[in-house]
Chain A
Amino acid sequence: MIEKRGLASAVPHIILILGIAFMCFPIYLTLVASTVTQEEIVHPPLPLLPGPHLIENYKDALFSGVNVPVMRMLFNSLVMAMAIAVGKIAISLLSAYAIVYFRFRFRMLCFWTIFITLMLPVEVRIVPTYEVVAQLNMLNSYAGLTLPLIASATATFLFRQFFMTVPDELFEAARMDGAGPLRFFKDILLPLSTTNIAALFVILFIYGWNQFLWPLLVTTDPQMNTIVMGIKQMLPTADDWGNWPVTMATAVLAMLPPIAVVVFMQRLFVKGLIETEK
């Protein structure tokens, strides 16, 4: 490592610290705003130091909220993010397995069809998808929230790439050992994919948690709101005052689960990366 001293070391540090401060300041403000009263927020200047109302505001947010208790929204978001992450992983594992290990008619066509859908994010197909979900009576349901988002070309592609690096001999050895296709998948391929699954889970959980536009469209019942879109619903409209401390507490609560997933899973992920076993 190149060692730098004095000014050469101080300048990059100052730039980095300023950058971090710039990025963190809004989050700090959110935190502060969630510990004071509505009056303190609406009368300028904005308070810059935490107030004494932390517990009270968070209790308010969690158990009563503005439209619906945040607890409910957290639960909805959790269901949605988990269903999307687990569903996406399960489906893409299976489709990648089919594409890599089975010879069937139109195999490459299937692969390319899946691959092309990479170019179609939710926003592009949102109107027809809404129509389909509405026709199926899945508005305001967990199925409606998650099913349209559950297929994943990216994850399929990643697993396909990984499976192609698994030596053919492993499959053949398993075949000689008497393992059928499902057994091979369960006993050998799946354990070998653990690190990929962990990495994808982190990405997909956050993807699911941060969904905004889709829940906004398909949930009209506040009981089905997810927390990310719920924050938007809590913002004051027109001549309403809103409830800023509770909204800010909700924002902080919305940030916690993705952070927890990253912190917890990252360790598993890095551990998997270090143990290069293949």
Chain B
Amino acid sequence: MAAISIRQLRKSYGKTEVIHGIDVEIEAGEFIVIVGPSGCGKSTFLRMVAGLEAVTAGTISIDGHPVNDVEPKDRDIAMVFQTYALYPHMTVHNNMAYGLKIAGLPASEIDERVQRAAKMLELSEFLPRKPRQLSGGQRQRVAMGRAIVRNPRVFLFDEPLSNLDAKLRVQMRLEIKHLQRSLGTTSLYVTHDQVEAMTLADRLIVMNEGIAEQINTPMRVYDHPASVFVADFIGSPAMNFLAGRVTANGDAVELDSGSVLRADGWSLGADTGRAVTIGIRPENLRQVAAGDADLTLQVVAIETLGADTLAHGFAVGNGRTGQAPNKMKDNVAVRLPGNSQIAEGEKLALRIADGMLHLFDAATGKRLGDG
């Protein structure tokens, strides 16, 4: 267990800066998930912590000691790779024992540790096998075993589940969480999968183009996204965004279509007349009688998922200064109960659940103050 402190971490390849100064304090035993779209710098960030990439500027400290110039092996960390990176010519046992052997541990202790890790991961019967004789999930476990036996201060996971099928992914996700809880080892986990991010993390780091957009608990990130990017990235289907502006008295926002939405709980006094992006989660819209509607949805497509029915379309009259709605940009999705009887082409009258508005500055994309 170790605390990690990262200050103003930057990385450049030649003249191109890919990570623009990240600050984060990670407590001992915390499970941190770094999530973001591909190319946002999340893997580079992890690899810098691992010591596989040199740090351009800033510091990484583990338990108070800067490790910028410490070799990976001396950082006392273990990493699980996306491709598992098992040594193909070694048995499962030797794969797990390799690091310990190099560290010069006595054979009896190596064996004991490997046996213990194998038992924990239900790999005991596979110890004499070669990686190619194992299934994807088993290989994944061996990769984790290799990390566990070292008993490191920090675990690093680089998209460890992305090569598994959906069902196995759910199972391994639970196992990783359970394992991390029982070992209590500080963990950094990189993924582009928001479900993994939400379910595993004590705290999330949402990254976008080399910047940490938001660092907070999953629920806080979900309920109070710090920017349009975070709001759009976390949640499926994604949050709906409508253009509008703050009304003259500062207690509501007006959509381009003319509908006025009350902004309870937001202090918008200083922002009157400001152009805003209004975010509404699909589950915060419900069907109402036409007279009570905040907005009207012209349904274009319906997805029935069983438990829910998703209706996709565009808000009538919200086509940005009268233009025809852009299918991609102005799409509005609504999560309705699974038994909803709706048809394509229908118009749905929708009301926004009280207090479930998210307001962002239209120009910067940052969240406005909501107390």
Chain A: residues with CB nearer than 8 A to chain B?
Answer: 167, 169-170, 172-179, 183, 187-188, 191-192, 277-278
Contacts and interface: CB of A to CB of B under 8 A. Distances in A.
A228 to B, nearest CB: 37
B81 A173 contact: yes
Contacts of A191: 89
A12 B88 CA distance: 44
A173 B81 CA distance: 8
Given A178-B103, A179-B102, A169 B85 contact: yes
Interface in B78-100: 78-79, 81-89, 98-99
Contacts of B77: 176
B177 interface: no
Contact of B85 (A172, A179, A183, A187): A172
A277 B89 contact: yes
B50 interface: yes
A113 to B, nearest CB: 26
A97 B152 CA distance: 30
| Main secondary structure on A side of the interface with B | helix
A35 B149 CA distance: 68
A84 to B, nearest CB: 27
A277 B83 contact: no
A122 B46 CA distance: 51
A103 to B, nearest CB: 12
In this complex, which of A172, A188, A278 has the most chain B Cβ atoms within 10 angstroms of its Cβ?
A: A172
Contact of B73 (A167, A175, A187): A175
Contacts of B99: 176-178
A175 B89 contact: no
Given A176-B52, A178-B102, 19 more contacts: A167-B83, A167-B85, A169-B81, A172-B50, A172-B52, A172-B85, A173-B85, A174-B98, A175-B52, A176-B72, A176-B73, A176-B78, A176-B79, A176-B99, A178-B73, A178-B103, A187-B87, A277-B89, A277-B130
A17 B87 CA distance: 47
12 contacts: A172-B79, A172-B85, A174-B98, A176-B72, A176-B77, A177-B98, A177-B146, A178-B73, A179-B98, A187-B87, A192-B88, A277-B132
Interface string B63-85: 00000000011000111011111
Contact of B88 (A174, A178, A278): A278
A226 B199 CA distance: 72
Contact of B72 (A175, A187, A278): A175
Interface of B: 50, 52, 72-73, 77-79, 81-89, 98-99, 102-103, 130, 132, 146, 150
A236 B85 CA distance: 63
A170 B90 CA distance: 12
A177 B98 CA distance: 7
A171 to B, nearest CB: 9
In this complex, which of A169, A174, A177, A179 has the most chain B Cβ atoms within 10 angstroms of its Cβ?
A: A177
A61 to B, nearest CB: 44
Contact of A277 (B73, B81, B88, B103): B88
A274 to B, nearest CB: 12
A173 B89 contact: no
A170 B132 CA distance: 15
Closest 9 pairs between A and B when the two form their complex, measured CB to CB: A178-B73, A177-B99, A169-B85, A173-B85, A191-B89, A178-B102, A277-B88, A169-B81, A176-B79
Nearest to B156: A176
A13 B87 CA distance: 47
A169 B139 CA distance: 15
A187 B101 CA distance: 12
A191 to B, nearest CB: 4
Contacts of B86: 173
A48 B80 CA distance: 70
A169 B132 contact: no
B28 to A, nearest CB: 21
A215 B82 CA distance: 53
Contacts of B102: 177-179, 183
A86 B30 CA distance: 53
Nearest to B102: A178
A188 B89 CA distance: 8
Contacts of A175: 52, 72-73
A143 B82 CA distance: 49
Nearest to A276: B132
A179 to B, nearest CB: 6
Contacts of B89: 188, 191-192, 277
Contacts of A176: 50, 52, 72-73, 77-79, 99
Contacts of B130: 277
Contacts of B84: 169
Contacts of B52: 172, 175-176
A173 B132 contact: no
In this complex, which of A167, A176, A192 has the most chain B Cβ atoms within 10 angstroms of its Cβ?
A: A176
B223 to A, nearest CB: 37
In this complex, which of B52, B84, B88 has the most chain A Cβ atoms within 10 angstroms of its Cβ?
A: B88
A278 B146 CA distance: 18
Contacts of A183: 102
A278 B85 CA distance: 10
Contacts of B132: 277
Contact of A188 (B79, B87, B103): B87
A169 B80 CA distance: 10
A192 B132 CA distance: 14
Nearest to A183: B102
